[in-house]
Amino acid sequence: MNWEKLNKLVKDFNALGLNKVVDFDLFNRIAIVHHSSAIEGSTLTLQETALLINEGVTAKGKPMADHQMVTDHYAALLFVLENAKNKTPITPIFLKEINAKVNKSAGQVRQTAPGVCDDTKGDFRLGNVTAGSTYFVNYDKVPKMTDELCASLQHKIEEVKGNTEAIYQLSFDAHFYLVTIHPWFDGNGRTSRLLMNYIQAYHQQPPSLIFIEDKAYYIEALLETRRIDNINIFRNFMCSQHIKYLEQEIEKYNQRNKGISFVF
C-alpha cells in the first residue's frame, strides 16, 4: 500500500493551490459525478455530464433516466459538501438524506412483506438483496449495523485530524463498510462513495473517485476484501485510484504554461 506516495502527492496538490484555481471545484465535482454515475450504468460522457450540469443541455439519444441519475447525484454531492463544511454528524438520518437525494427521480415506493419503504425518502430496505454472487446482510440487521458504523465513524472522524493517511484510510473504510451493509434497495454505491467524499471534505482534503475504466478492478477489490476478510485489499485499491487521480491533475496543471505550437 503506497501511502507514502499518496501523502507526497496530496502535499504537492495542496502546495500548487489547485483547489483555488477558478472553476476547479466545479470540474472536480463534475468528474466525481460522471465516474460514479457511469459505474452505476449512466451512458453520459464526461463532456455530456458537464453540459448537463453547467448548462442544462441534455445529450441527444441518451436515456432520460441517465440524465436524472447525474443531476440527482450532483445535488447529493453538493449536499454532502455543504454538510462537510458544517461538520454535520454522521448518523443514519444523515445517510438516509444522502440516499434520498441520490434516488430523488428514479426511486420507488416498494411494497414488501414486512412493510412499505420509499427510496425517495432514503428508507432502509425491507427485504434481502444480492448483487452478482454476493448476498448482503438480512434486512432486519441493517438498522443496528448502520447505527454501529455511524457511531464508529463519528468517534474516529476527529481523531484522524491532521493525519493524511488516517483521513483517507477512514474514508475508504467508510465506503467499504457502508456498501457492504447495503442498507438500501438502490443507490448503495453512490451513497457510499459520497460518504467517502464527505469525510475527505470534512478534513479539507482532495476528494477521491473511482475511474469508470477501472470498474472491474473496483468490483474485484470489493469481492476479494469480503472473501478473505482483509480490508487492506480495498484500501490498497482506493489508494491507487487516488494516486492516479492526483497524478493526472498535477500533470495537467503543470502543462498549462508549456505553450502552444501554432500551425500558421
pLDDT value, residue 189? 97
Region 45-73: mean pLDDT is 96
pLDDT tens-place string over residues 206-216: 999 999 999 99
Average pLDDT over residues 58-83: 96
Alpha helices in 64-186, H assignment, sequence order: 64-85, 92-102, 142-156, 164-181
Q: What is the band of 253 on the pLDDT scale with cuts at 50, 70, 90?
A: confident
Q: What percent of the chain has pLDDT over 90?
A: 84
* Range scoring the smallest mean pLDDT among 18-32, 44-58, 119-133, 190-204: 18-32
Could you tell me which residue, 23 or 202, shows the higher pLDDT?
Answer: 202
The residue count for the chain: 264
- Please report which confidence band the pLDDT of residue 23 belongs to, taking 50, 70 and 90 as the band edges: low
Paired residues of 118 in beta bridges: 109
What pLDDT shows up at residue 124? 98
Phi, psi of 112 (to 5 degrees): -125, 165
Average pLDDT, integer, range 141-158 = 98
Q: Is 23 exposed, middle or buried (0-12, 13-18, 19+ CB in 10 A)?
A: exposed
Mean pLDDT over all residues of the chain? 93
The region of weakest confidence among 16-20, 45-49, 70-74, 129-133 is: 16-20
**Model confidence at 2: pLDDT above 90:** no
Q: Where are the domains of the chain?
A: 3-250
- Examine the pLDDT at 240 and tell me if it is beyond 60: yes
Residue with C-alpha cell 454505491?
189
* Rounded distance between C-alpha atoms, residue 194 and residue 179, angstroms: 11
Per DSSP (E only), the strands in the chain are 109-112, 115-118, 130-131, 134-135
Exposed, middle or buried, 107 (CB in 10 Å: 0-12/13-18/19+)? buried
- Per the CB < 8 A criterion, the answer to whether 130 and 170 are in contact is no
User: pTM of the prediction?
Assistant: 0.94
Residues of the chain above pLDDT 70, percent = 94
Query: Is residue 1 pLDDT above 60, yes or no?
Result: no
The CATH code that applies to domain 3-250 is 1.10.3290.10
pLDDT per residue as tens digits for the range 157-172: 999 999 999 999 999 9
Spacing of C-alpha 88 from chain mean position: 17
